[in-house]
Structures are given as structure tokens and as C-alpha cells.
Structure 1
Amino acid sequence: MDYILIAAGLIGLFLGGDALVRGSVGIARRMAISPLLIGLTVVGFGTSTPELLVSVQAALGGVPDIALGNVIGSNIANILLIGGLTALVWPIRVSGATLRRDLSVMVLAAAVLLPIFLTGAVGRLSGVALLLALVGYLVWAYLRPGDAVAEDHDASPSPAVLVSLGWVLVGLVALMFGARFLVDGATEIARGFGVSEAFIGLTIVAVGTSLPELATSVTAALRRQSEIAIGNIVGSNVFNVLGILGVTAIITPIPVAPRFASFDLPMMLAASVVLAVLLLTRPVIGRGVGCCLLIAYAGYVWLAQ
């Protein structure tokens, strides 16, 4: 039964995330927002909704290791797993100048968690600070889009606003049910097999909630829209740290197990720095780099046990 719950949860998260992104992008295109800005905000944050719902459910359900593992593991999977697969599908070409601000925010968001985690808990005050930082970033991104003004090469007509709102509503409902099923199933399996809840959160739950990011980035790569693919990864990582941890901590403070501060968070920070360096120094992230990212992810999962 627990495996059925996990399967149902993953399907709900995948379909719900797809519907949410479909509706969000439709609304954004009606508002004439650029592709990179859509990737960094609407798509990036929209595909992170599963992580938000799962982390809140886990924290309220008394399994904080799954809540934290979901956020940290999702960010690592976004960079190493999804970034690697995206580069394998089609070499990534994005101007470093275009993403400099957003990559800096992603790295700083990861770095600011270090002193918070060392206190042993993410309290409500920290949650408010993280959420305010997210609001500031959103306002900054909207008012100063920088080079993110490239034309949208998708010539298909934009759907009506009501249709897009319908997709958003359907997506949110599917995500809520999917998150509940996934957390319940994963928690019971972890307890039954004696596997730590942190490891389950860092791997199974994290990859499961990252399925919308995977689908979105790979689809964007197939359409040769590197801006959407990378913007999705960077935007999701920013939202995971500032938005998801912020909201979850405001609802209920999250105790931090020592392993997160000593191993998992440094790994997330290192992966963030690697992605930033790659995008800022290389004109193209090819398939060779993509393979290296995938190997690094496999190594992390092995060490995380």
C-alpha cells in the first residue's frame, strides 16, 4: 500500500506540476513577460510548488528530516541530475551576463543557510527573513530584468486567461493530493526498512518533487530554449531555499539534524558554486560536462546513505 501511495503521489506531482506550469506560462505570456524571466520566476517557482507542499506536510506531520531533506536534496538534484540530463539532451547555451544576478542570489541563498543550520533549527524569525529576501528578489527581478528581454520564439498563440487559470487550479489540486500521498508513503517505508527519514527526503522525495523541473527543463532543452531550462533550475533553487524553508519555518519551526549542516548543505552550496562557475565561464555546457554532473549526483547519493 505504501508503494501505491508513493506511485500515486509521484503521478500527482508530475501531472500537477505540468498543469501549473502550463497555466502559469500562459498567463505570463499574456502579460508579455520574457522567456528567461518566465523561467526564473513563473516556471521556476511553479515547478517548486511540490517541494513547498511536501515540506509543509512533512513538518506538520512531525518528520522534519523529510522537510529539510526535500529542500536540500531537490536543489542538489536540480543542479547535478536535471542540469546533467538537460546538457545531455542539448548543449546549454546561456549568456553568463544574463544570469549573473540570479546565480549570485542562488549561491548567497545557499550560503546564508549555513549559520542558520548551525543554530540547530530554522525558527520563525529566520523564516520571515528568508521570505522577505524572496520578496525582494522578485521585485528586483521584475523591475530590473537586465538582459532577460530576449524574444519568445514560441509562435503558438497564447491561451485565454481563464483557460490558464483553470490549468493553475487543476495543478494545485493535483499537487496537494500528490504531496500528501508521497509524504505518507515515504515515511512509512523509511520506518519499515529502518532507513533514515533524512535519506528518504534527500533522495526519493527530493527527486519525486523535482519531476516537474525535470520535465520542464528537458522539454525546454528539446525545443532548444536554454534560457527556460537554466532559468527553471536557478529559479527553483532560489525559491526552495527562500520560499519553501521560509514558509515552512513560519508555519512550524524546523529542527536541523547535524548531518544537514555538516554534509548535505555544504554539498548543495558546492553544487551551486559549480553551476555558477560553469555558466559564467563557459559559452556552452556540453554533453561531457553533463555526464560529469550526473556522475557527481550518483556519488552524492552513495555518500548520503
Structure 2
Amino acid sequence: MWNCWFATSKEYSDLTLNNSPVPYISSDPRGGMLGGLPDGVLLTIGLILLVSGGELVVQGSIRIAGLLGMPSFLVGFTLVAIGTSLPELGVVLNAINRGSPEAVDLAVGGVIGSNIANVMLVLAIAMLIGAASQPDKDLKQDALMLLAATTFVVLSVVMGEFPLWLGVLSISSMGGYYAYIFRTRGGDDSDEEDSWIPRGYAYALVAFLFGLILVKFGSDLLIEGGVGLAISIGVSEAVIGLTLVAFGTSLPELAVTITASIRGVQGVAIGNILGSNVANVMAVLGIGAIAAQGLSVSGSFLTLDIWVLLVSSGIIGVSIMLGKGVSKPLGAFLLLGYFVYVAQLFIG
């Protein structure tokens, strides 16, 4: 279920699949990868896989950063962020392959909603559990990139499309920025956190990639079991969509971020979130726009969702650039705003 995404107001008001208010969610969750198991068992296995996968991703990232002699933040902003953004890319390419405007709307809405959840849920939780760091010059540069990516997606909604030229500009900008930060920061001293992963690129890459796979399947099972359990006790599918499905889209980022925070690897925790939001727009929508020769974007996102994304990303970006950092009070404010946003989706 990599196509579990944070449903925006557009999807809940306009789009259905098989007469169900929750897109891509079957009323029978037992058609999944381990459909014969009880929902509680699926939940338990999913949680174990998530925790294990998050640990492997973080430990692999620490070892990669040490071997390359670079800060863990840089690995989080690039390698980890791209890995946790692969679900959104799969959804967009699948939508383009279907050739359905509704499917494209769902995919674009998924990117917008995922970025909202990453900032207002995942980053907020990271702040509250202590993954805050004082902004430095490099973090301020990355915050500026986050604001640029947010501007791109806002521009696409206003124009009603993510055109081919914007896709090319997005990919070029992201590639150029990656080249810049690897050239200017790649020689910095690594954070030198200890890792139980044996030294060597092969061990580090295997741990990292296997961790991503475990996070992927853990997310699937956790949501599959959660949806089945909720349906069995009479919870409506609309409520499921607004809670479990919304939570599910950001589970990869959340698992990696919480694990990194607990391990004290703040670079991976913060870099993963900022980098994932940049990758979601510049890589996912950029590749989608190039593949489809331009993506249509529904104007209905202008009613609420895009402004929530703009304000939340703006608060984070400006706070970092002004030297305020990411603090617990700000995390509490964002998390409260997230719940208000979800409540508004439900009421609407």
C-alpha cells in the first residue's frame, strides 16, 4: 500500500473509487500481502518491521556518512529523503500510466498532503521529542530550498498545471543543488556517531536498502491491519481515511525520524524531512511532468490545502533562516494546526 497518502480536501469532497469515500482502500483489508492473519497480528508485525527498518536506515546512514566523511544531515537530506519519497513517485507514475485525470489529481494531492503531514506531523513530533537543533549556515540553505520547492507547487496549483518546463526546471534545480552541497559539504568532518553496522560500503548500503524495504512492508501491514480492525468495530471509512490513511503516508519518514531522534542523530532526523519535501516536489512532480509532458493540477487545491502547505512550510523555512531553529513550542503549534486541518477535512 505505498499508495496510501494523506487525503486532501479535494479527494474527500470530489473523488471516490468503487463508491468508497476512501480512495484505494478496499473494504476488505484481507486481500493484502498477509491477508489470512488477524488484524492485531498484522498491526504487531507491521510495527516490528517499522521499528527494525527505521533502525537499519538510520544505522546505515550513520555508517555511510562516516565512510564518505560528510555530516549525517547531508545523507538525511539526500539519500534518506529520496528513499522515503519513492512511494510518492510510484503513485505519480502509476497515475500517469492510467491516463486518468482523476488519478493524476489523486497523485498530485498525495504529494501536497504528504508534504503537509511531513511538516505538521512528522517534523512537529521530532521537535517535541527533542530532535531540535540550532540552525547553521548549511541548514539555512536547505530551508531556502524547501521554500523554493513549496513555491514551485504553489505556482503549479495557481497555473492549473505542472508544465513540462517547470518539471525540467525542478529536476535541474534539485540536481544542481545536490551537486553544490556535495561539493561544498562533502569534505566536512562527519558527525562520527557510532554504529553497530560493520565498516564497509557494502554493509552500509545493504543495511540502508534492506531497512527501506522493511519500512515499506511495515507501513503496508500496519495500515492494512489498522483499516481492517477499524472496519470490524464499525468505524466509518471516511474516518479511517482521515486518520489511519493520513498517518500511513508519512510512516516511512516518521519511522526514520523518530529512530534518528532517539539515537541522537539529529542530522538524519531533520534532513530526512526537509529533503523529503524537496524531493516530493522537485523529483516526484518534476519526473511526472516530464514523463507526461505536463501534469494537470486541480484548482480545488486552492481552497485550503495549498495554503496550509504554504503557511506551514513558510513558518519552518523562515524560522530556520532567521536563526530561531526548530523548537518544542513550534512543534506543539504545528501539531495543533495539523489536528485542526484534519478536523476541517472531516467537517468539510
Q: Indicate the residue corresponding to 2:16 in structure 1.
A: none
**2:337 partner amino acid:** A
Flag the 1:282–1:124 CA change in 2: closer, same or farther, 3 A. closer
Counterpart Cα distance in 1 of 2:155 and 2:276? 22
- Let me know the Cα RMSD of the aligned residues: 3.8
Q: 1:3 aligned to 19, 29, 48, which one?
A: 29
* Mapped pair 1:301 → 2:342: yes
Amino acid at match of 2:82: F
Q: 2 CA distance for matches of 1:176 and 1:211? A: 9
1:131-152 per-position Cα deviation (integer Å, ceiling 9, x unaligned): 1111111111111229x94642
CA–CA separation in structure 1 for the residues paired with 2:244 and 2:94: 16
Match of 2:21 in 1: none
Structure-1 residue corresponding to 2:329:
288
Q: Is 2:171 the counterpart of 1:131?
A: yes
Cα deviations by residue, 1:203-250 (Å, 9 ceiling, x for unpaired): 765542321211122122223333322111111111111011111222
**C-alpha distance 165-91 of structure 1, shift in aligned 2 (>3 A):** closer
What is the aligned partner in structure 1 of residue 9 from structure 2?
none
Structure 2 equivalent of residue 34 of structure 1:
71
SS at match of 1:241: helix
- What is the deviation of 1:263? 2.5
Say whether residues 1:119 and 2:155 are aligned partners: no
- Following superposition of structure 1 onto structure 2, how do residues 241-252 of structure 1 map, counting pairs within 5 Å? 241-252=281-292
| Residue equivalent to 2:268 | 228
Letter in 2 for 1:3: P
1:265 aligned onto 2:306: yes
Amino acid at match of 1:231: G
Which residue is equivalent to 2:3?
Answer: none
Moved more, 162-171 or 264-273: 162-171
Could you say which residue in structure 1 is the equivalent of 2:7? none
Residue identity (%): 32
The CA distance in 1 between the partners of 2:306 and 2:324, in whole Å, is 28
Equivalent residue letter for 1:39? G
Q: TM-score w.r.t. structure 1 length?
A: 0.79
Aligned to 1:94: 134
What displacement does 1:21 show?
5.9
1:203–1:70 Cα change, 3 Å: farther
Distance 1:204 1:144 in 2: 41
Equivalent pair of 2:88/2:280 in contact (CA under 8 Å)? yes
Quick one: structure 1 residues 221 and 176, their matched pair in 2 at CA, closer, same or farther if it must change by over 3 Å? closer
Q: Which has the higher helix share?
A: 1
Q: Which moved more, 1:1-10 or 1:91-100?
A: 1-10
CA apart distance, 1:17: 6.7
Q: Distance in 1 between matches of 2:68 and 2:162?
A: 36
Gaps spanning 5+ residues in structure 1: where? none
Match of 1:43 in 2: 80
SS of alignment partner, residue 117 of structure 1: helix
Aligned residues: 295
* Larger gyration radius, structure 1 or structure 2: 2
Change (3 A) 1:244 1:203: farther
- Does residue 1:279 correspond to 2:320, yes or no? yes
Matched residues in 2 for 1:60 and 1:203: separation? 28
TM-score (norm 2): 0.70
In structure 2, the CA distance between the partners of 1:246 and 1:102, relative to structure 1 (3 Å rule), is same
Q: Which piece of structure 1 moves more, 37-46 or 276-285?
A: 276-285
| Alignment deviations for residues 276-298 of structure 1 (CA, whole Å, 9 cap, x no partner) | 23323455544332221110111
The 1:297/1:91 distance shift into structure 2, 3 A limit, reads same
